[in-house]
C-alpha cells in the first residue's frame, strides 16, 4: 500500500478519537516543553555568566590569601594576613605580562549622610582598580595617585549607596559622608552595574584610596586581595606564573612549601561556573525528560488499546489482501503522528514558557535551534520505539481469528 494512503488512514483513525489522541499527546507536550524551557534557561544562564565575567575583564587576575597550615581547620582567605604592599610592588616591577595591579583593603560598616544611613562596604584600592574591574565614573572624577600617597579622605559611591544616602535626588558630588567615624568627601559616582550572577549588588559600594582605608578604617598594613590584569587574555597563564613566582619570593617560601596565597583567573572562574551551569542544566533536562518517557508509555498503551478495538478491521483488511507490513506501517505511522504532533505543540509551549520566564522573572533565556531539533528527533524516536511493538502485534494477527473477534 502506498505511504500516502497509510498516512490518510492514520489521520482518519486519529480524527475518530480526537480527545483520546490529545490526552495521549499530553505527556509528549509537557516533556518537550519542559526540555526546551530548561535548556533555554541553562544556555541563558551560561551566556549571562560569560557576559558578566567578561564585563569585569576577561584578563583579570585575582590574588587571595590562603592558609598553608599542614593540619587543622583552614581559615577563610578574608581572615588571613599575608598580602602586603611589597607583593604589589614586586608584581609591578617583575611581572612583564601584568599590565596593571591594584591592592584591595575592604571593610563593612555604616555610611552616614545627615539623617540618612546605609550599611555597606568600603573598598580601598588604587586608581588602576577601576580599569581592571571595568568600572567607570558617571559623575565627578577618580582619585589620583597623589590622593593615594597622601591618604586623602575622598571616595567614589555606587548607585545603591547614593540612592540611600541622598534619597531626594540631589548630587552627592562635593558632599561629606561618614563611614563609621571617618569623614569622606564624595568626588565621583560610579556607572551602575546591577546585580552580579551571584545576586550580589555591585552598586552597593564605596571606593576610596587604599592607604586611607588601611590607616583610617582598618589600622592594618595587610590587604584582603590583590587584583591584576594581564597584558592580554592569551597572556593570563604566563602572568599567573610570574605573579606566583614573585609572591613566593616576597613571602620567602622555600622549595616544597605550599603557597600561602591563591591566584585565580577569569578563565578558570568562567570554566568552573559554566561546568556547574551545564551540570545543573543536564540534571533539570533529565528530570524534564521523564515526561517524554511517560508520554511514550502512554502512546504504547493507547496503541495496544487501538489494536484491540480494531481487531476486526485488521482481519477484514488482511482478508482482502493487506500485507502484515501494511498493517504494521499503519499503526506505526499513527504512533509517530501522535508523537510528532505533540512535539510541535510542545515546542510552541517551550518557546512560550521561555519568553514568559524571561519577561516575568527576568531570568536570562536563550532558545537554541539545537534544542528544538533534538526535541523533534526525540519525539520521532519515541513514536517509533513505543509504537513499534503494538504495530508488530497488529501485523501478526491471524485474519480468521481477527474476523471472529467480538
What DSSP assignment string belongs to 293-341?
HHHHHHHHHHHHHHHHHTHHHHHHHHHTT--HHHHHHHHHHHHHHHHHH
pLDDT of residue 109: 93
Regarding whether 201 and 222 lie in a shared domain, the answer is yes
Task: Characterize 101-118 residue by residue with b for buried, 16 or more Cβ atoms within 10 angstroms of its Cβ, and e for exposed.
Answer: bbbbbbbebebbbeeeeb
Query: Which of 53, 49, 239 has the alpha carbon at shortest distance from 134?
Result: 53
Between strands 154-157 and 60-65, the pairing is: unpaired
Rounded to whole angstroms, the Cα distance separating 184 from 124 reads 12
In this structure, is residue 179 part of a structural domain? yes
pLDDT at 381: 80
Specify the 3-state DSSP secondary structure of 153.
coil
β-bridge pairing 116-125 and 137-140: unpaired
Report whether pLDDT(361) > 50.
Answer: yes
Q: What is the mean pLDDT of residues 259-270?
A: 79
In a domain, 62, yes or no: no
Assigned domain for 384 exists: yes
pLDDT of residue 298: 80
For 123, the enclosing helix (H) or strand (E) is: strand 116-125
| Whether the predicted pLDDT of 60 surpasses 90 | no
Query: Which whole number is the average pLDDT over 9-20?
Result: 76
Q: Tens of pLDDT along 364-382?
A: 788 878 778 877 777 778 7
- pLDDT band for 403, please (50, 70, 90 cuts): low
Q: Which residue has the higher pLDDT, 172 or 51?
A: 172
Same domain, 228 and 130: yes
In this structure, the answer to whether residues 255 and 276 fall within a common structural domain is no
Please tell me the distance from the alpha carbon of residue 8 to that of residue 12, in angstroms, as a whole number.
6
Asked if the structure places residue 159 within a domain, the reply is yes
Is residue 244 in some structural domain? yes
Q: Is the pLDDT of residue 349 over 60?
A: yes
**Range scoring the smallest mean pLDDT among 116-120, 181-185, 250-254, 387-391:** 387-391
Which domain-ending residue is among 204, 224, 259?
A: 259
Query: What is the residue-wise DSSP string for 150-205?
Result: TT--EEEE-HHHHHHHSTT----TT-EEEETTEEEEEEEEEPP--B-TTS-BTTS-
Q: Using CA of residue 366, residue 369, residue 375, residue 378, what is the dihedral sign? A: negative
The structural domain count of the chain equals 2
**CA-CA distance, 200 to 139, in Å (whole number)?**
23
Residue 321 pLDDT exceeds 80: no
Residue 266 lies in a domain: no
Q: Are residues 137 and 277 in the same domain?
A: no
Residue reference for cell 587571595: 64
What pLDDT is attached to residue 24? 79
Q: What is the pLDDT of residue 41?
A: 82
Do 85 and 111 share a structural domain? yes
Same domain, 126 and 242: yes
The pLDDT value given to residue 209: 96
In this predicted structure, what is the pLDDT of residue 72? 47
What angle (nearest 5°) sits at the alpha carbon of residue 234, between those of residues 230 and 236? Answer: 40
> Could you give the percent of the chain with pLDDT greater than 90?
33
Average pLDDT, the chain: 82
In percent, the amount of the chain with pLDDT more than 70 equals 87
Q: Is the pLDDT of residue 77 over 60?
A: no
Whether residue 61 is contained in a domain is answered as no
Give residue 116's pLDDT.
93
Which of 259, 286, 302 delimits the end of a domain? Answer: 259
pLDDT in tens, 83-97: 999 999 999 999 999
Handedness of CA 254, 256, 262, 266 (dihedral sign): positive
Pairing of strands 154-157, 225-230: unpaired
* pLDDT at residue 387 is higher than 50: yes
pLDDT, greater one: 34 or 72: 34
CB 334 within 8 A of CB 8: no
With cut-offs at 50, 70 and 90, classify the pLDDT of residue 198.
Answer: low
Return d(Cα 174, Cα 184) in angstroms, integer.
Answer: 10
> What's the mean pLDDT in 302-315?
75
**298 and 228 together in one domain:** no
Residue 377 belongs to what domain range?
3-52+272-404
Give the model's confidence band at 274: pLDDT under 50 very low, under 70 low, under 90 confident, else very high: low
Identify whether residues 111 and 245 lie together within a single domain.
yes
End-to-end distance of the chain based on CA atoms, in angstroms? 27
Range 130-155 average pLDDT: 93
Of 220, 236, 259, the residue that ends a domain is 259
Higher pLDDT, 217 or 310: 217
Q: Are residues 148 and 190 in the same domain?
A: yes
Cell matching residue 38: 530548561
Q: Between the ranges 22-26, 261-265, 302-306, where is the mean pLDDT highest?
A: 261-265
- Do 217 and 286 sit in the same domain of this protein? no
The reply to whether 90 and 213 lie within a common domain is yes
Other C-beta atoms lying within 10 Å of the C-beta of residue 330: 23
Residues 229 and 304 in one domain: no
> What was the pLDDT predicted at 76?
47
- Summarize pLDDT for 214-234 with one digit per residue, the tens: 999 999 999 999 999 988 878
Cell digits of residue 236:
593570563
Alpha carbon 114 to its chain centroid, in Å, reads 41
In a domain, 267, yes or no: no
Q: Is the dihedral of CA 350, 356, 361, 367 positive or negative?
A: positive
What angle, 0 to 180 degrees and rounded to 10, lies between the N-to-C axes of helices 18-56 and 369-395? 150
Amino acid at each position: 500500500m502506498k505511504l500516502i494512503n497509510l498516512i490518510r488512514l492514520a489521520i482518519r483513525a486519529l480524527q475518530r478519537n480526537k480527545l483520546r489522541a490529545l490526552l495521549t499527546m499530553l505527556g509528549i507536550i509537557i516533556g518537550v516543553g519542559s526540555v526546551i524551557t530548561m535548556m533555554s534557561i541553562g544556555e541563558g544562564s551560561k551566556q549571562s555568566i560569560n557576559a558578566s565575567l567578561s564585563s569585569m575583564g576577561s584578563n583579570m587576575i585575582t590574588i587571595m590569601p590562603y592558609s598553608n597550615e599542614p593540619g587543622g581547620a583552614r581559615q577563610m582567605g578574608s581572615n588571613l594576613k599575608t598580602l602586603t604592599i611589597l607583593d604589589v610592588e614586586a608584581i609591578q616591577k617583575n611581572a612583564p605580562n601584568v599590565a596593571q595591579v591594584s591592592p584591595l583593603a575592604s571593610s563593612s560598616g555604616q555610611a552616614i549622610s545627615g539623617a540618612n544611613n546605609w550599611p555597606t562596604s568600603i573598598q580601598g584600592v588604587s586608581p588602576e582598580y577601576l580599569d581592571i574591574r571595568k568600572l567607570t565614573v558617571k559623575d565627578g572624577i577618580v582619585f589620583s595617585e597623589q590622593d593615594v600617597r597622601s591618604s586623602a579622605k575622598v571616595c567614589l559611591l555606587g548607585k545603591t549607596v547614593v540612592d540611600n544616602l541622598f534619597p531626594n535626588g540631589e548630587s552627592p558630588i562635593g558632599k561629606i559622608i561618614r563611614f563609621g567615624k571617618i569623614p569622606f568627601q564624595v568626588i565621583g559616582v560610579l556607572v551602575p552595574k546591577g546585580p552580579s550572577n551571584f545576586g550580589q549588588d555591585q552598586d552597593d559600594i564605596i571606593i576610596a584610596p587604599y592607604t586611607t582605608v588601611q590607616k583610617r578604617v582598618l589600622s592594618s598594613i595587610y590587604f584582603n586581595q590583590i587584583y591584576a590584569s594581564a597584558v592580554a587574555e592569551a597572556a593570563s597563564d604566563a602572568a599567573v606564573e610570574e605573579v606566583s613566582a614573585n609572591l613566593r619570593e616576597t613571602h620567602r617560601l622555600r622549595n616544597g612549601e605550599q603557597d600561602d596565597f591563591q591566584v585565580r583567573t577569569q578563565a578558570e572562574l568562567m570554566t568552573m561556573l559554566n561546568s556547574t551551569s551545564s551540570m545543573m542544566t543536564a540534571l533539570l533536562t533529565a528530570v524534564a525528560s521523564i515526561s517524554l518517557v511517560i508520554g511514550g508509555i502512554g502512546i504504547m498503551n493507547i496503541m495496544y488499546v487501538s489494536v484491540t478495538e480494531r481487531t476486526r478491521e485488521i482481519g477484514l483488511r488482511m482478508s482482502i489482501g493487506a500485507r502484515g507490513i501494511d498493517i504494521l506501517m499503519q499503526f506505526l505511522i499513527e504512533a509517530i503522528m501522535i508523537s510528532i504532533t505533540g512535539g510541535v505543540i510542545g515546542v510552541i509551549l517551550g518557546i512560550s514558557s521561555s519568553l514568559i520566564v524571561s519577561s516575568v522573572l527576568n531570568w536570562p533565556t536563550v532558545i537554541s535551534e539545537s534544542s528544538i531539533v533534538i526535541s523533534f528527533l526525540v519525539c520521532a524516536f519515541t513514536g517509533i520505539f513505543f509504537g513499534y511493538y503494538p504495530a508488530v502485534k497488529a501485523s501478526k494477527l491471524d485474519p480468521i481469528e481477527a474476523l471472529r473477534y467480538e
